Amino acid sequence: MRNTTCMADYREVELGYGMLASFFSEASKREAFMAALDLCHQGAAMQALTLFDQWWAHIRFNTYVSSISEHEDAEDFHGRLSMWRAFGGRLPKVAIVIRVPFHSSGAQQLNILFSPVAYLNQQEVHATANAVIENIKTSADFLRALDREVVIGNIFAMLLGAVTCVKHEGFHEEREWRAIYTPKRAQSSLMVPSVEVIGGVP
Amino acid sequence: MTDNQPATDLRPEVLLNMHLEGIFMPRARVQRDDFYAKHKKIRSLHIGGQRLENH
């Protein structure tokens, strides 16, 4: 896993954050989000947003990501030329083909969030956020029956996913999935930190 | 656990998390479901140009 600040595009997390901030900076949208969640747990949205803001500095500088590229069966043998060209520079390159299980308790033990990347423009981010608001309203009875902390935890995970798994639409052919680890927030005893220099970058 | 495992075999807390993902991260839920619907077969593995089945 690599710290996002050392990745090829060190602004990766900033892009998602900026799009999210643009949504919540519009009073009507922010209020719609809060009102939907107030139907389930009064003040839960504000609590989750405040919590996320408090964690933002840690998320920004202490998020670690492993990136893998989804590919078709036909690409098993040769891989995808653009991926070979894009990553590894002039160093020898190796591709590992893996099959990711639908569900694995390993992700829980490692405290990682495993998610596909969404290649979205600002308009699509806003549309997705509006869809979430509608989902929350539709599922209000169900969410009300859950523990408040569970709901807040899921809002937080949604915000974390939005900042770490939204990339510029121009990168869509990468078809990236990310394993995301935020040790300051949820450490795993199975994760051992070490600094390795690859191609001159730690 | 395999990617062919029916959802009904999953533990209740896993099903709950999947349902919550559908509410809060609908796009990721759809992408995940589409991916696993599309790639049901056991994949083969290539080592040194040789195709090894069912690994």
Mean of pLDDT values over A84-106: 80
C-alpha A115/C-alpha A3 separation (Å) is 17
- How many A/B residue pairs have CB atoms within 8 Å? 71
The pLDDT tens digits for A125-177 are: 999 999 999 999 999 999 999 999 999 999 999 999 999 999 988 888 889 99
Q: Where are the domains of chain B?
A: 8-52
A128 and B27 in contact (C-beta within 8 Å)?
yes
Within an 8 Å CB–CB cutoff, is residue A140 touching chain B?
no
Please say if the pLDDT value at position B5 is more than 90: no
Please say if the pLDDT value at position A6 is more than 70: yes
Banded model confidence at residue B9, pLDDT cuts 50, 70, 90: low
pLDDT of residue A156: 95
From the list B10, B20, B42, the residue facing A103 with the nearest CB is B10
Mean of pLDDT values over A171-184: 91
C-alpha B41/C-alpha B44 separation (Å) is 9
In sequence order, what E strands does chain A have?
A: 2-3, 64-69, 112-116, 118-119, 166-167, 176-181
Angle at alpha carbon of residue A180, lines to A97 and A69, rounded to 5°: 30
Contact A118 B28 (CB under 8 A): yes
Task: Return mean pLDDT, chain B.
Answer: 69
Within an 8 Å CB–CB cutoff, is residue A143 touching chain B?
yes
Q: Where are the domains of chain A?
A: 2-181
Name the residue type at position B52.
Answer: L
pLDDT: which is higher, A9 or A22: A22
